A and B are shown apart, each in its own frame.
Chain A
C-alpha cells in the first residue's frame, strides 16, 4: 500500500478521523446500538486472529456479513449472553490512509484495548490493527468494512463486546 500516493482533502481526513474515534468511543461508553450506526447499510464487521490472517485461513472470531448480524450480536449481548462485567478503553493510533479505485478509502490503524473490572483493576485485553474500508457521502464517513486483526489472539476469558 502506498499511503503517500494521494492527498486527502482536509474534509475527508477530518470525516475519517471522526468516524474512527466515534466507533471506539461508542464501544467504550457501552453504546453498542449506536456503534452499529457507524456502518454503511452494506457494511460488514469482522474480528479475526493474526494467526489465521497470516496463514490465509478463513475462520473469524466474529463474522458479521451485514448490519443485521451486528444488531443481532448486540441484542444477544444485551439479552442472552452472560458477559464478564467490565468496561472497555480503547487507545488507537493515527490512521494511515489510501484511496481505493472505487473512491472509498482504506484506513489502517493500531489499537490497544484495556478492560477494567468492577474493582477498578485494568488489564490489557489485547492489541491489534484495524483495516478499514470507509465511504464518505455528504461529508459523513461510514465503514463499508471494518476488519480487526487481533495480535493478542489467545483471547483472555472471552470476547464479548466488539473491538
Chain B
C-alpha cells in the first residue's frame, strides 16, 4: 500500500495503521528519514574495541557500519563500503588491524577511513592506472558523527541531529548513568531472527502491559507482576521509554486482577533450583527491572542482575534480528559473573521471560498483513495526552514511539483527509462485515 493512502484516524495515535508494518514504501522512507535521519543509533560498547586498531562491524538500519578505533584511540563510525565499487570493506564481525583494505582491488584505508593507497595508481610504463586528476587525499569512507557516552557508542548520519544527551534527555541519561556507572566487560552475544517488521519489536518493548500477561514464567514466580510497583517514564518527546518495577511489592489486589487468567498463582509449580531467581542487590535503589528503549533501535536491560543491550537490526520489511550483548562489570568477582551467566537463562531467544516476544511479533505481522486498511488499537493506559504511567497496566509508550516516528516521516495523524480516508475504508467493508457491524 502506497504510504499516501494509509489513514491515521487518531491524532493521539491510539490507532496505528497495520499497513505501516507491510508497506515497502514506508520501509524505504524509514531507512532514509529515520535510520539515516536525525536520530542517534547504537553501534556497540567501547569495551568491545578497547585497543587501537580494534574494529567491529554492525548496521544502522540496513546500512553496514564499520566501527574502528584509530591509533590515537578515537572511535570512528564509517560506512562499511569501499568508495571504489561499493564492496563490503570489512567482512569480519570483529578484529584488530593496522588498516582496512578492500579485498576486491586492494584499496587501502587508514583506521580513520582515509584512502591511503591504490595499487598501480600510475599504471605501468605510462599505461593504465588512475587518471592524472585522481587525488586519493580527497577520498574518505563515508563517516558518521560519533558520540560516546559512558562507554556506549552512538552515531548519527545527520548534521541536524541534536547533541546526544539532548536527544536522550534527562530520564534516559539517568538510567544510563545507573547501568553504566562502572566499567563493563562483555560476557557474550545472542542473536534472534524474528520474522516480523522491526517496528513491532519497538511496540513490544514499549508495552509494559504484556510483560506480566505473555511472559508467564515471570508472573508465576513473582519476578514481575502487573500489580507490582512500577511504571513507564518517557523523555520530553516520548520517543524513548523506561519501563521499571520493583520485586515483591504487590498485594492481595493482584490475585483479583489475574482472576480471569489461568496461569498465575499456581502454587503447585515450584522450581527445584531457584538460584537463578535471586536478585543480588547491586544498585542503591530497589528497582529490579529496567527496560530502557531508545529510539529507533536499542534497548538497555536490567532484569535482576542480568544486564544487556539489545540492538534491533532491520533485515528487510518482514524480518529483523535482535542482537543481544550481555555484560557485567569489570570489578565483578567470579561468583557474580557466574550469577549473571546463570541469570542469562531468563533472557534472549531461549529466555524464560523473553522467548515469547519473537512469537508475539510474528503472529501480529502474519495476521495484520491481510488487514492493511485497518488499525491496531492502542488504548491501554488511556487515550489523549501521552505521559508517564504510574503502573505497568499501560501501553502508552507505544503511542510515544509512533508520535516521533510520524514527526520524522512527515506524517500528520488525525488530519481531516485521514478521517475521510478512514470513513471511505469503513464504507468499503464487505457485505458480511457490514452485516456483522
A84 and B193 alpha carbons, distance in the complex (Å): 14
A72 and B269 alpha carbons, distance in the complex (Å): 10
Partner of A75, one of B192, B271, B345, B350: B271
Contact status A157-B216, CB under 8 Å: no
Contact status A80-B194, CB under 8 Å: no
Check: B317 CB closer than 8 A to any chain A CB: no
Contact status B271-A59, CB under 8 Å: no
A157 with B350, Cβ < 8 A, contacts A59-B326, A68-B272, A79-B220 known: no
Contacts of A154 in B (CB 8 A): 191-193, 321
Interface centre among A51, A58, A83 (most CB of B within 10 A): A58
Contacts of B273 in A (CB 8 A): 66, 68-69, 72
Check: B356 CB closer than 8 A to any chain A CB: yes
Contact status B269-A75, CB under 8 Å: yes
Contact status A59-B188, CB under 8 Å: yes
Proximity bits, B246-289, A CB within 8 Å = 1, else 0: 00000000000000000100100101110010000000000000
A158 and B191 alpha carbons, distance in the complex (Å): 10
Contact status B186-A57, CB under 8 Å: yes
User: Chain B contact residues: over half helix, strand or loop, or mixed?
Assistant: mixed
CB distance from B111 to the nearest CB of A (A): 21
Q: From A85, which residue of chain B is reached at the shortest CB distance?
A: B359
Contacts of A69 in B (CB 8 A): 272-273, 276
Interface centre among B189, B349, B358 (most CB of A within 10 A): B349
Proximity bits, B312-353, A CB within 8 Å = 1, else 0: 000000000100001000000000010001101100111010
Check: B18 CB closer than 8 A to any chain A CB: no
Proximity bits, A58-85, B CB within 8 Å = 1, else 0: 1111110110110110011001111110
A60 and B349 alpha carbons, distance in the complex (Å): 11
Partner of A51, one of B186, B189, B348: B189
A157 with B217, Cβ < 8 A, contacts A59-B187, A81-B356 known: no
Check: B195 CB closer than 8 A to any chain A CB: yes
A158 with B350, Cβ < 8 A, contacts A63-B341, A68-B272, A82-B359 known: yes
Contacts of A83 in B (CB 8 A): 355, 359
Contacts of B321 in A (CB 8 A): 154
Contact status B345-A157, CB under 8 Å: no
Q: Within residues 136 to 163 of chain A, which ones have a CB less than 8 A from any CB in chain B?
A: 153-160
A75 and B235 alpha carbons, distance in the complex (Å): 40
Q: From A57, which residue of chain B is reached at the shortest CB distance?
A: B188
Q: From B342, which residue of chain A is reached at the shortest CB distance?
A: A63
A83 and B341 alpha carbons, distance in the complex (Å): 23
CB distance from A160 to the nearest CB of B (A): 6
Contacts of B342 in A (CB 8 A): 63, 65
Check: B3 CB closer than 8 A to any chain A CB: no
Chain A interface extent, by class = 20 to 34
CB distance from A163 to the nearest CB of B (A): 10
Check: B207 CB closer than 8 A to any chain A CB: no
A7 and B272 alpha carbons, distance in the complex (Å): 40
A82 and B360 alpha carbons, distance in the complex (Å): 10
A86 and B355 alpha carbons, distance in the complex (Å): 15
Contacts of B186 in A (CB 8 A): 57
Contact status A159-B350, CB under 8 Å: yes
Check: B214 CB closer than 8 A to any chain A CB: yes
Contacts of B220 in A (CB 8 A): 79-80
Chain B interface extent, by class = 35 or more
Contact status B326-A61, CB under 8 Å: no
Contacts of A66 in B (CB 8 A): 273
Contact status A155-B193, CB under 8 Å: yes
Check: B143 CB closer than 8 A to any chain A CB: no
A156 with B190, Cβ < 8 A, contacts A61-B349, A63-B344 known: no
Contacts of A72 in B (CB 8 A): 271-273
Contacts of B272 in A (CB 8 A): 68-69, 71-72
Check: B362 CB closer than 8 A to any chain A CB: yes
Contacts of A160 in B (CB 8 A): 350, 355
Q: From B219, which residue of chain A is reached at the shortest CB distance?
A: A80
Contact status A76-B344, CB under 8 Å: no
CB distance from A95 to the nearest CB of B (A): 25
Contact status B349-A155, CB under 8 Å: yes
Contact status A59-B358, CB under 8 Å: no
A155 and B193 alpha carbons, distance in the complex (Å): 6
CB distance from B288 to the nearest CB of A (A): 19
A61 with B216, Cβ < 8 A, contacts A69-B273, A155-B349, A157-B195 known: no
Proximity bits, B341-384, A CB within 8 Å = 1, else 0: 11011001110100110110010000000000000000000000
A75 and B221 alpha carbons, distance in the complex (Å): 12
Q: Within residues 57 to 82 of chain B, which ones have a CB less than 8 A from any CB in chain A?
A: none
Proximity bits, B188-229, A CB within 8 Å = 1, else 0: 111111110000000000000000001011001000000000
Contact status A61-B190, CB under 8 Å: yes
Contacts of B348 in A (CB 8 A): 61, 159
A58 with B350, Cβ < 8 A, contacts A79-B266, A80-B217, A156-B193 known: no
Chain A residues in contact with chain B, CB under 8 A?
Answer: 47, 49, 51-52, 55, 57-63, 65-66, 68-69, 71-72, 75-76, 79-84, 153-160
- Subset of 17 A-B contacts with CB under 8 Å: A47-B350, A51-B93, A61-B349, A63-B342, A69-B272, A71-B272, A76-B217, A80-B263, A80-B269, A81-B355, A82-B216, A82-B356, A154-B192, A154-B193, A156-B195, A159-B348, A160-B350
Report, nearest first, the 5 A-B pairs whose CB atoms are least far apart: A59-B188, A159-B350, A68-B272, A57-B188, A155-B349
